[in-house]
């Protein structure tokens, strides 16, 4: 009897154990299925994240590139403006060279040489340079007065006086010793001297007017720069305009000095009595 009861108990235990195992297997299967679903969902979310990240990254790249482009465009505009400013300095520099040549010519008037050789080979004793024009000098020497064309100058004189460099300006003469008649052409020299004096005044007037026109142009440019500064430009533009304004102010000061000197020279020239 006890053996039967025990056998029944075993059978009941086996049945319960089998049922529980079936339940556990089913539960395990559900867990696995759920795991697969979660992993699939994660893959989907990850792909969406990748997609959105890619879009944001491309947007960021486009923004960065657009900013770089704008900066580079500004830089190019600034550089081109700087080139214009550098080019604008050129006339003043050229004018500086012309002024230097004029100054040296002025210093040359009155220079004395024990012996001055011309390219023609004829040495002039006790030579005194009385007048210098763009292509001619008047030399007083022991035998008289000679007017030497640029083609006759020796290399040193050519390098010093730069013939042709100031073709549109007046000749420089020693006020204390006005040019005397030329020994090689005595006839008609007086009228020629008067004509030359008139031409000098005219040349000086034209040169002064040109300088005044240049000064007016520079003042216009300065006013324009002031206006641009008052119109609230961008920082880079403001920097460029301020640089330009400073340059114009410097050029105007130099030009005013030149105009003033030219006006003085013109007044002196006009005050001189014309040759007979």
Residue ranges in contact with another protein by CB under 8 A: 6-7, 10, 13-14, 17-18, 20-21, 24-25, 27-28, 31-32, 34-35, 38-39, 41-42, 45-46, 48-49, 52-53, 55-56, 58-59, 61-63, 65-66, 68-69, 72-73, 75-76, 79-80, 82-83, 86-87, 89-90, 93-94, 96-97, 100-101, 103-104, 107, 111, 160
Shortest Å distance, C-beta 177 to another protein: 20
Nearest to another protein of 107, 120 (CB atom): 107
DSSP string of 177-193, one letter each residue: SPPPPPTT--TTHHHHH
Nearest to another protein of 87, 187 (CB atom): 87
Shortest Å distance, C-beta 77 to another protein: 10
Shortest Å distance, C-beta 53 to another protein: 6
DSSP string of 107-174, one letter each residue: HHTT-EEEEEE-TTS-EEEEEEEEEE-SSEEEEEETTEEEEEEGGGS-HHHHHHH-TTTTTTS--EE-
Distance from C-alpha of 82 to C-alpha of 229, rounded to nearest angstrom = 16
Nearest to another protein of 36, 190 (CB atom): 36
Nearest to another protein of 72, 143 (CB atom): 72
Asked if residue 153 lies in contact with residue 118, where contact means CB atoms within 8 angstroms, the answer is yes
Helical packing angle, 235-271 and 2-108, nearest 10°: 0
């Amino acid at each position: 009897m006890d053996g039967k009861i025990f056998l029944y108990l075993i059978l009941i235990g086996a049945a319960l154990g089998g049922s529980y195992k079936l339940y556990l297997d089913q539960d395990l299967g559900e867990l696995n299925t759920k795991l697969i679903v979660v992993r699939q969902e994660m893959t989907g979310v990850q792909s969406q994240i990748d997609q959105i990240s890619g879009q944001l990254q491309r947007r960021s790249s486009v923004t960065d590139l657009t900013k770089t482009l704008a900066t580079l465009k500004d830089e190019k505009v600034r550089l081109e403006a700087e080139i214009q400013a550098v080019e604008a300095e050129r006339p003043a520099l050229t004018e500086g060279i012309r002024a230097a040549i004029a100054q040296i010519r002025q210093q040359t008037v009155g220079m004395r040489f024990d012996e001055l050789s011309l390219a023609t080979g004829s040495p002039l004793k006790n030579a005194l340079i009385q007048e210098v024009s763009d292509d001619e000098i008047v030399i007083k020497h022991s035998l008289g007065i000679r007017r030497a064309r640029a083609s006759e100058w020796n290399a040193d004189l050519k390098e010093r006086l730069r013939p042709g460099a100031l073709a549109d300006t007046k000749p420089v003469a020693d006020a204390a010793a006005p040019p005397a008649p030329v020994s090689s052409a005595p006839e008609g020299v007086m009228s020629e001297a008067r004509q030359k004096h008139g031409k000098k005044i005219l040349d000086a007037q034209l040169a002064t007017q040109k300088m005044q026109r240049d000064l007016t142009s520079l003042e216009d440019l300065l006013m324009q720069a002031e206006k641009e500064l008052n119109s609230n430009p961008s920082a880079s533009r403001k920097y460029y305009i301020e640089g330009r304004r400073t340059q114009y102010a410097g050029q105007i000061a130099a030009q005013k000095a030149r105009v003033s000197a030219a006006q003085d020279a013109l007044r002196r020239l006009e005050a001189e009595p014309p040759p007979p």
